[in-house]
Structure 1
Amino acid sequence: MPAFKYRARGQRGDAIEGVIEAASSDLAATRLIEGGLTPIDIDEVQDKVGMSSDLADLFPPEVKLVDLIQFSRQMHSLLRAGVPILSALHGLANNARNRTLAKTLAGVIESLEAGRDLSSSLSQYPKIFSVFYISLVRVGETSGRLEEVFRQLATYLEREKKTRDQIKSAMRYPTFVITAILVAVVIINVFVVPAFAAIFEKFGSDLPLPTRILVGASDLTVNHWQGLLVAIVLLVTGIRLYIRGDTGRYKWHKLQLQLPLVGKVLYQATLARFSRLFALVQRSGIPIVTGLSVVARALDNDFVQERVLTMRDGIERGEAISSTAASTGVFDHLVLQMLQVGEESGTTDQLMQEVADYYDDEVDYAIEKLGSAIEPVLTISLAALVLLLASGIFLPMWDLYKVALH
């Protein structure tokens, strides 16, 4: 899309210069006026560095979580101040520091001008706006509380960023240890074991089982690494293709909640997301059947999504919320109790918000303890590796020593 360099006056008469992308100079002027600016001069920017521009298109900057947080915060502030959506997006697109986000917002603006709603326009960019993000925007459009939804999105994304940073911090030491172990294993297989294998071969006697395991692993690594590499690539590719399918993705999402150490954290995080979204839907005044459909799509877990849709179908048949939730078998006692109390008292949204806050705190605590929980597993694994190496190398050396004595 062409870019236009402009000079304009702000609402207070201050001079403003910048660059805006538009299909034509007339459309650029229209967008400036909608953004509250009075255009003075608009000139098309000539591309004098075609190669660098092409490279920038080939390697566009990634839209990070912090960019989405800032965008959501700004949209909340602008909409709360009464700025129309198109004007708000024009201003954010012109001032966005991330080039990819700016081009995305320009595409969203074009989609809105073509008559689509905001959630449908955002859904054209699934790599930037997740299903969860789009679903919440759709809730905001349906309920007329779009500015509140953007505030909720900013808060949620900030918590998600905090959680990711905590996980990275907790996994830094285990990752370092695992990397060191893998490097040590490769060095031992490629350089150490072959040298000892030549000595053991001259010895001529039967080797102990640990030694045979080490020699076999070393032979596979050194002499058949091409086949080993192909097997690993095929295995990884096969698993990824399987997970991308409906059945594989469902089973993988179910397995995630049952994994040791991290399964409980993922389960609590899913309950927190469900509770927070359900509270938001309840406050928005959306029919509960429609709201649960939106919540299910936003959970990002096919296994739990299917259970929530089952819950929705039960409510559609006239059953109580708490009883249908209990029949799914996916919610714990706390969520079920709060749903039952909320039904009786008419405060479901408040109670589910409290449940979400509780599980968010539990997730924070579990992540803080994740590193210390992994350390014993690493210690045992490292001890087993050292035992295998020691027994595989030193047992035959001890036999050689006894032969030398006799």
Structure 2
Amino acid sequence: MSGGALAQLTKRRSRRTTPRAVTAFTRQLASLLHAGLALVQALDLIAHSERRDAIPSIARALARRISNGEGFAVALAAYPVQFDRLYRELSAIGEATGSLAPALTRIVEQRERASAQRGKLRSALAYPCAVMLLALAVTAALLAFVVPTFAHVFDGFGATLPGPTRAVMTMSTFVVKWGPLVLAANAAASLAAFRLIRRSPAARAALDRSLLSIPFVGQLARAAAAARWSRALGTLLAAGIPLADTLHALSRATGNAVFDGASAHIEARLRRGERLACAMRGVGCFPSALVETIAVAEESSALETMLLDCATLAEREVDEKLALASACAEPIIVIVLGLAVGALVIALYLPVIELGNVV
């Protein structure tokens, strides 16, 4: 394998580093710096750790760049996938003020809060999705293997079957004949859509925009994105970065393409002389309560504190809504599953009941 190909392969592998691994690297680096080690020594120590991901190689490359005279934030720019603009801006401020370790600790706290919220969202969705998939699998199995057996029995009756039974028989025939093809087509379409969303910013923005328009789900996604945006902005302002310069670092801070794109529009409005609350109101994606609170905070010169407080309140609201949705979803799914299976059983036994009445 040539050197260029090997370099490209190493670069692709390094991009597969998980956000959790980057957070662990940041926490370890902050701890080593707090213990009194120099930055290059701390990175060399991490580079010799027995990890199976790309973090040791990244730490080794960072140490080499810093030894050659580059700054830490400049060296991080070589890995934009792992270290976004928010990470690099906070690192640059910490490096310039001689407080890199506290800056890294602040980054860890911000990333861990975002990770915890995503974990709660996944946990809230895991049970309903698992039950729905199980219900679909059980229904498909009944239609593919059980219903055809009843069909052979009903053929011997020599009578017209009830409407619900005929509908179930039609569905069973469709599942047996076209089920594998439909399943394969859906799998291929899902894979293609996932790759398109992952690689196309326009497709990702369209998906996030559609997500925000869904009742309840859109409110939840909007509150979560606004919370991450507020906390990231408040953290940057608390670090001493001017307001007009902070928006540039929020291009990937929320995980929602609509809010990330709104940051660029807000930045442009701020440079034209608008107030932050007015610019946020103009982009139209932020909750009105957050905009009004920021308008008051601008008048009282306590913007960074109010942003962090708003982020905490929004995160608490998201947690409460997730808990409520999870509690309501369980009985609803059980009821729907019971109704579906019950309707299928009744449709299969209707001919038997009618035959018994005739006899």
TM-score where L is the length of structure 2: 0.82
**Does structure 2 retain, via aligned residues, the 8 Å contact 1:268–1:363?**
yes
The Cα offsets for residues 175-230 of structure 1, whole Å up to 9 and x where unpaired, read as 55334323321321222111112223344544444333322332233233442233
Q: TM-score, normalised by structure 1?
A: 0.73
Query: For 1:305-362, what per-residue CA distance to the aligned partner results, in whole angstroms no more than 9, with x for missing partners?
Result: 2222221111111111111111122222332123212221211111111111112222
Counterpart CA distance in 1 for 2:237 and 2:194 is 37
TM superposition shift of 1:250: 0.7
* Distance verdict in 2 for CA 1:388–1:107, change over 3 Å: farther
- Mapped partners of 1:97, 1:111: distance in 2: 21
Given candidates 120, 134, 138, the residue that maps to 2:89 is: 138
Separation of aligned partners in 2, 1:209 and 1:101: 63
Q: Which residue of structure 2 lines up, in the alignment, with residue 296 of structure 1?
A: 251
Q: Give CA deviations for 1:6-53 in whole Å, capped at 9, x if unaligned.
A: xxxxxxxxxxxxxxxxxxxxxxxxxxxxxxxxxxxxxxxxxxxxxxxx
| Closer/same/farther in 2, CA of residues 378 and 114 from structure 1, 3 Å limit | farther
Counterpart contact for 2:73–2:91, Cα < 8 Å? no
Partner of 2:57: 103
Alignment partner of 1:269 is 2:224: yes
1:187 to 132, 141, 144: 141
Q: Distance in 2 between matches of 1:106 and 1:317?
A: 43
Measure the CA separation in 1 of the matches of 2:46 and 2:292.
44
- Larger RCO: Structure 1 or Structure 2 (Cα < 8 Å, ≥ 6 residues apart)? 2
Partner amino acid, structure 2, of 1:284 = A
Q: CA deviation at 1:301?
A: 1.4
Render the CA deviation track for 1:287-307: whole Å, top value 9, x for unaligned: 322211111332221111222
Q: What letter matches 2:329 in structure 1?
A: I
Query: By how many angstroms is 1:394 displaced?
Result: 2.2
Runs of 5+ unmatched residues, structure 2? 1-12
Contact 2:251–2:261 (CA under 8 A) maintained in structure 1: yes
CA distance in 1, matches of 2:104, 2:56: 18
Distance 1:64 1:310, change over 3 A: closer
Instruction: Report the secondary structure of 1:263's partner residue.
Output: helix
User: Which amino acid counterpart does residue 223 of structure 2 have in structure 1?
Assistant: Q
8 Å Cα contact 1:271/1:356 also seen in 2: yes
Aligned to 1:224: 178
* Aligned with residue 154 of structure 1, among 97, 108, 116: 108
Is residue 166 of structure 2 the alignment partner of residue 215 of structure 1? no
Structure 1 residue 252: Cα displacement: 0.8
Change (3 A) 1:202 1:109: farther
Aligned position for 2:191: 237
| Larger proportion of helix | 2
Higher deviation after alignment, 112-121 or 207-216? 112-121
How far apart, in 2, do the equivalents of 1:348 and 1:243 lie? 35
SS in 2 for 1:224: helix
Residue number in structure 1 paired with 2:234:
279
Q: Which structure shows the higher strand fraction? A: 1
After the TM superposition, which residues 3-402 of structure 1 pair with which residues of structure 2 at under 5 Å, given as runs? Answer: 67-80=21-34, 83-95=37-49, 97-113=51-67, 117-119=71-73, 121-122=75-76, 124-125=78-79, 129=82, 131=84, 134-142=85-93, 144=96, 146-167=100-121, 169-171=123-125, 173-244=127-198, 245-402=200-357
Contact 1:119 1:137 in 2 (8 A): yes
How much has 1:389 moved relative to structure 2?
A: 0.4
> Closer, same or farther in 2 for the Cα pair 1:310/1:172, shift >3 Å?
closer
- CA distance in structure 2 between the aligned counterparts of 1:111 and 1:200, rounded to whole angstroms: 78
Q: Which residue of 2 aligns with 1:23?
A: none
SS of 1:266 mapped into structure 2: helix
**Identity over aligned pairs, percent:** 25
Structure 1 residue ranges without an equivalent (≥5): 1-58
1:106-162 deviation line (CA, Å, top 9, x unaligned): 2333444566554454455566x263xx53223331563543331122112332443
CA change 1:284–1:169 in 2 (3 A) is closer
* Aligned residues of 2:114 and 2:228 also touching (Cα < 8 A): no
Are the equivalent residues in 1 in contact too, given 2:72–2:91 (CA < 8 A)? no
Q: 2-side partners of 1:227 and 1:85: how far apart?
A: 57
Across the two proteins, how many residue pairs are aligned to each other?
343
Partner Cα separation in structure 2 for residue 321 and residue 396 of structure 1? 69
Residue 377 to residue 255, structure 1, CA distance change in 2 (3 Å): farther
Per-residue CA distance 1:33-87 (angstroms, 9 max, x = gap): xxxxxxxxxxxxxxxxxxxxxxxxxx99x85665444322232233445643222
Q: Does the aligned pair in 1 maintain the 2:247–2:267 contact within 8 Å?
A: yes
Structure 1 window deviating more from structure 2 (157-166 vs 179-188): it is 157-166
